[in-house]
Structure 1
Amino acid sequence: MPNHVEACLTEELLTLLRQERYVTLSTIDHETNAPSVSAISWLYAMDSKTVRFCVESRSAILDNLKQNNQIVITFIGSGSTYAISGRGTIISEEVEDMPIKLGLIECHVEEVKDIMFYGAKIVNDPQFEKTYDAEAALKLDNQVMDAMKKESHE
């Protein structure tokens, strides 16, 4: 049985990607041309064809995207595992009014694929907790989410 493929995020997946969750981001390493995978949590689905995320401004992800803008975002939800393939555009290398230096990236969704292996389902979504000051983490998370949701960035 082939895995289900969509050209955009479904309503169910759109809802999931409007909540903080653990995802992995795959890019092509700018020095080795090998796959590079990073775990991120600052991600927000703007609409069914657009996903934004933030990473530290010093992250190799930014350098990788400057050379090759192909990305894959992988996440677990709704009992399965999904891969969102698309093209990444650096909206800002340094988001204004942030206590830390963050780059903002936008993914233009080209394909959403259910990649779960046959005959299985995920019974528990991954969970994580921030290991630094909870109040500071919440404040920073809210600032980053607000920045990602802005319609325009200069």
Structure 2
Amino acid sequence: MANQVEPELMESLFQALQKERYAILSTVDFETGGPNANALSWILAKNVHNIYFAADNRSRIIKNIQKNKKAVLTLIAEESTYSVSGDAFIKVQKIEDIPLKLALIELNITEVRDIMFYGAKIVSEPRYDKTYDKKAAAKLDQQVMDALKLIK
């Protein structure tokens, strides 16, 4: 369903964002004013209007959002590609009880756009594999996703 535009997440996208998944966050670079893109996986839709994600609090993402709140999250789900635009802000500078220094960022959604080119659909969503200690990765992933769910 190409070119669909909504002011909030559709139910199917909300459900797709209830677990860790691959996405690209685009922000405005604080130094150059140009685009800056980063891959993310710790993402959670809190409701149809807000998405939480975690990022290292020393990351360029943090500096970019502090200077310019405009952001776009691009994700592949439901056989299509979506851009979720809005204003982002640092909700929590350091998430408690996580061994890494992660910030919690909230994206307040202003537009959800189906950006898949005409006459096509995604037949396989991106998959990734953690390349470090599998048990440690699973534990950290669970800690971060649980924290995202608990923060109001």
The alignment status of 1:141 with 2:150, answered yes or no, reads: no
Aligned to 1:14: 14
Question: Is the CA contact (8 Å cut-off) linking 2:2 and 2:114 kept in structure 1?
Answer: no
What CA distance in whole angstroms lies between the structure 2 residues aligned with 1:22 and 1:97?
A: 23
Identity of aligned residues (%): 48
Aligned to 1:64: 64
Deviation at 1:151, TM superposition (A): 3.6
- RMSD, aligned α-carbons: 1.2
Aligned to 1:74: 74
What CA distance in whole angstroms lies between the structure 2 residues aligned with 1:2 and 1:125?
A: 17
Superposition TM-score, scaled by structure 1 size: 0.96
The CA deviation string for residues 69-112 of structure 1, in whole angstroms up to 9 with x for no partner, is 00000000111000000000101121111111101000001100
When structure 1 is superposed on structure 2, of 62-71 and 94-103 the one drifting more is 94-103
The CA deviation string for residues 29-69 of structure 1, in whole angstroms up to 9 with x for no partner, is 00000000000000000000010000011101000001000
SS of the equivalent of 1:36 reads: strand
Write the mapping of 1:56-135 to structure 2, written as runs, cut at 5 A: 56-135=56-135
What CA distance in whole angstroms lies between the structure 1 residues aligned with 2:2 and 2:119?
A: 12
The CA deviation string for residues 112-141 of structure 1, in whole angstroms up to 9 with x for no partner, is 000000111111000001111111111101
Superposition TM-score, scaled by structure 2 size: 0.97
Question: Is the CA contact (8 Å cut-off) linking 2:95 and 2:102 kept in structure 1?
Answer: yes
Deviation at 1:2, TM superposition (A): 6.6
SS of the equivalent of 2:66 reads: helix
SS of the equivalent of 1:138 reads: helix
Deviation at 1:145, TM superposition (A): 0.7
What CA distance in whole angstroms lies between the structure 1 residues aligned with 2:35 and 2:93?
A: 22
- Runs of 5+ consecutive residues of structure 2 not aligned to the other structure: none
Count of aligned positions: 152
List structure 1 runs of 4+ shifted beyond 2 angstroms.
none
What CA distance in whole angstroms lies between the structure 2 residues aligned with 1:2 and 1:137?
A: 36
What CA distance in whole angstroms lies between the structure 2 residues aligned with 1:41 and 1:100?
A: 15
- Runs of 5+ consecutive residues of structure 1 not aligned to the other structure: none
Deviation at 1:17, TM superposition (A): 0.7
